[in-house]
Every structure is written in C-alpha cells, then in structure tokens.
Amino acid sequence: MAQRALQQSSSYRPHYRRRFRWKWGEFGRVCVLIFYVLVVIAPIYWMFITSVKSYGEIVNVKEVTYWPQTFTTANYEELFNAIDFGIYLKNSLLYAFVTALTVVVITMMSGYGMSRYQFRGKGFMLGMWLVAQMIPGILGTIPMYVIYSKLGLINTRTGLFFMFITGQIPFCTITMRAFFDRIPVSLEEAAFVDGCNRVQAIFRIILPVLLPGMAAVFVFAFTAVWNDLMTCVIYTSKKKLWTINVILKSMIGRVSVNWGTLMAGGIIALLPTIVVFAFVQRYVVSGLTAGAVKE
C-alpha cells in the first residue's frame, strides 16, 4: 500500500522550466528501456527458435538462420518419445508443488513467531541466518551427504522432499516475517476485543491480508525447487527420481548433443517460472524488498 501511495505521489511532476530537456531525457529513457527488453528477450528468442528448427538447419555450419526455414515440433516430440520426458516433468512438478505448499504453511507459523514475539535467542537466530548465507552451500552438502547416507535417505523421494523443504524454510521465514511486520498488531487486537480467539484471529483477519505474502513465498519456493539442479544431482543417482533439469544436463554430456531437443527441454523448463512470475511479479518484488529498504 505504501508503495502504491508513493508511486502516485511521484507521478506529480512540476512542469516549469524544463520542457525541452524533459523531452530529451524521456527519449533517452525510452531507448534505455528498449535496450533492457532486448537484452532479456534475445537469448530466450534464440533458444525458442532453435527448438523449432529442424536438425539439418541447426547444424548448418555455413549459415545461421534467425528465423526458422521450417517450423517443426520434431524436437518436442523426440523429447517425450525418446527420453520419457513426461516422467521427469511429473517429478519436477510434484517436488515443486508439494514443497511450495508445505513451505507456505510452515513459514506462516515461523514467520508469525519471528514477527510477533520478542524472545531470547531471536537475534542469535537472525545472526546465524546471516552467517548461513555466507557459507558456500557446497560445503554444507558434504556433511549432509554423509548424514543422509547413514540415514539411508540417498536416492529416496523422502530425502529429496526433506532437503527441498528445509532448504527453503529459512529464507521464506524471513520473507514471511516481513509481511507480518506490515500488518498492524492492532488488527489482531481488535479481533480479540471482538471476541475472536487466536486461531480465529489468524484465519479470519490475518490470512486475507497476508495473501500477497503467501503468494510471494509460494512463488519463491516453487521456482527454487523447479529451478534446482544441484540438490538432485548430489543426492540422487536413480533416474526415475530425476527432475527435468537433471535429465537435460545429463544429455549435454553425450557425444552427439542434439541442441534442438535440449532447447525444447529448456523452453519447457522456463515456461512455468515465467508464467507464474508474470502473474505475481508485483508480490514477489515486494516480498524480496520487504525489510531490505529502510523507510
């Protein structure tokens, strides 16, 4: 809300003394904005058109085509027929959805706790979180691998779920906490006065206001798991547990890389994140910046 108010107030511009310069400034700004869109679009465009080209056109040394001579879906068909992409797609979706839902529920609790209570050890936990950010993740995977193999969690779905969920909790808790911080305590107190108990207050009053936060955390967790490569590479070697990223990565190593098929896989891998992100971009941005900027 505060952000929107700010945007509205800043749309007020004084008109004196700057007609001429204003136009040049605006022109430069439009150029800059176009430049940034091109930078984003160009590689994705290249990936897409490669995925719809025929094999012969892709490996044509003499000429690189910027618009496919013939559109073909052969690459996508090969993906699903030859390497059973469906299995991996299902895995990816399953991991991402279950993790995101679980993380939203868990971080609503822990975020509430971190926001509404002052307790001993809170500062210590935040400090630990900061230190954890600085430790290279790969260092942590070494002891975790040892622990996992002792518990027999290597190559199991349970192990993967556990790793995904716990991996998202700290960051998402901090995000959720920032969203709780924005909801005035008086809102809850008013609910108490009106005769709600704590649970009712949370479900009837807090949840509706918290929806943007829940959306942001859901998207964070979903994309993090959907985009993950290394967790799956490190903790699983069984093919039937792999995600789309892992199977595509394993295809690069082969002697004859079929880039058309790989790019088709890449397009499928980026579609859900782009779609989700486009819809909730505003919430994600506010989730990311919440607590980061001192106002």
Partner 1 sequence: MNSTIKLRRRRKILKAIEPYLFCLPLIFCLFGLFAYPMIRAVIISFQRYKLTELKKVRFIGFDNYINSLRDKNLGMITWNSIKYVVIVVGLQFVLGFGLALALRRPFRFRNVYQAVAFIPYALSGFVCGLMFRWSFNGEYGVVNDLLMKLHITSSKIAFLGTPGLSIIPVYVAAIWLGYQFFAIMLLAALQSIPQEVYESAELDGCGWWRRLFSIIIPYIRPTLLTILMLRVVWTFNSYELIYVITEGGPASSSETLTSYLFTRAYSNLDFGAASALGLMFAVVLLICAGIYMKLTKYNQAGDF
Residues between 168 and 227 that touch partner 1 (CB under 8 A): 169-170, 173, 223, 226-227
- Minimum distance from residue 195 beta carbon to partner 1 (Å): 20
Q: Report the helix count and the strand count for the chain, using DSSP H and E.
A: 14, 0
DSSP 148-203: HHHHT-TT-HHHHHHHHHHHHHHHHHHHHHHHHHHS-HHHHHHHHHTT--HHHIII
Find the binding residues for partner 1 in span 116-135 (CB under 8 A).
Answer: 116-117, 119, 122, 125-126, 128-135
- Minimum distance from residue 144 beta carbon to partner 1 (Å): 5
Residue of 52, 79, 96, 114 that binds partner 1 (CB under 8 A): 114
SS3 of residue 125 by DSSP? helix
Find the binding residues for partner 1 in span 142-171 (CB under 8 A).
Answer: 142-147, 166-167, 169-170
- Minimum distance from residue 256 beta carbon to partner 1 (Å): 13
Nearest Cα neighbor of 44 from 290, 281, 266, 282 is 266
Count interface residues toward partner 1 (CB under 8 A).
99
- Minimum distance from residue 194 beta carbon to partner 1 (Å): 22
Contact 160, 231 (CB under 8 A): yes
Burial group, residue 85, by CB count within 10 angstroms (0-12, 13-18, 19+)? buried
Residue of 82, 90, 109, 200 that binds partner 1 (CB under 8 A): 109
- Minimum distance from residue 274 beta carbon to partner 1 (Å): 6
Cα–Cα distance for residue pair 105/100, rounded to 1 Å: 9
Residue of 1, 138, 193, 255 that binds partner 1 (CB under 8 A): 138
Quick note: the x/- pattern for partner 1 over 48-87, rule CB under 8 A, is --x-------xxxx--x-----------------------
Question: Of 204 and 282, which has the nearer Cβ to partner 1?
Answer: 282
Residue of 139, 193, 199, 255 that binds partner 1 (CB under 8 A): 139
274 part of the interface to partner 1, by CB under 8 A: yes
294 part of the interface to partner 1, by CB under 8 A: yes
Question: Of 132 and 207, which has the nearer Cβ to partner 1?
Answer: 132
Question: Of 113 and 212, which has the nearer Cβ to partner 1?
Answer: 113
Find the binding residues for partner 1 in span 30-49 (CB under 8 A).
Answer: 32-33, 36-37, 39-41, 43-44, 46-47
Find the binding residues for partner 1 in span 240-269 (CB under 8 A).
Answer: 245, 248-249, 252, 259, 262-263, 266, 269
Q: Which letter, b or e, does each residue of 156-186 get, where b requires 16 or more Cβ atoms within 10 Å of its Cβ?
A: bbebbbbbbbebbbbbbbbbbbbbbebbeee
3-state SS, 55-97, equals HHHHCCCCCCCCCCCCCCCHHHHHHHHHCCHHHHHHHHHHHHH
Residue 279 tokens read as 């819809």
92 part of the interface to partner 1, by CB under 8 A: no
Q: How many CA atoms lie within 13 A of 184 on its CB side?
A: 6
DSSP 29-44: HHHHHHHHHHHHHHHH
Stretch that binds partner 1, among 76-84, 102-110, 189-197, 204-212 (CB under 8 A): 102-110
Cα–Cα distance for residue pair 281/118, rounded to 1 Å: 32
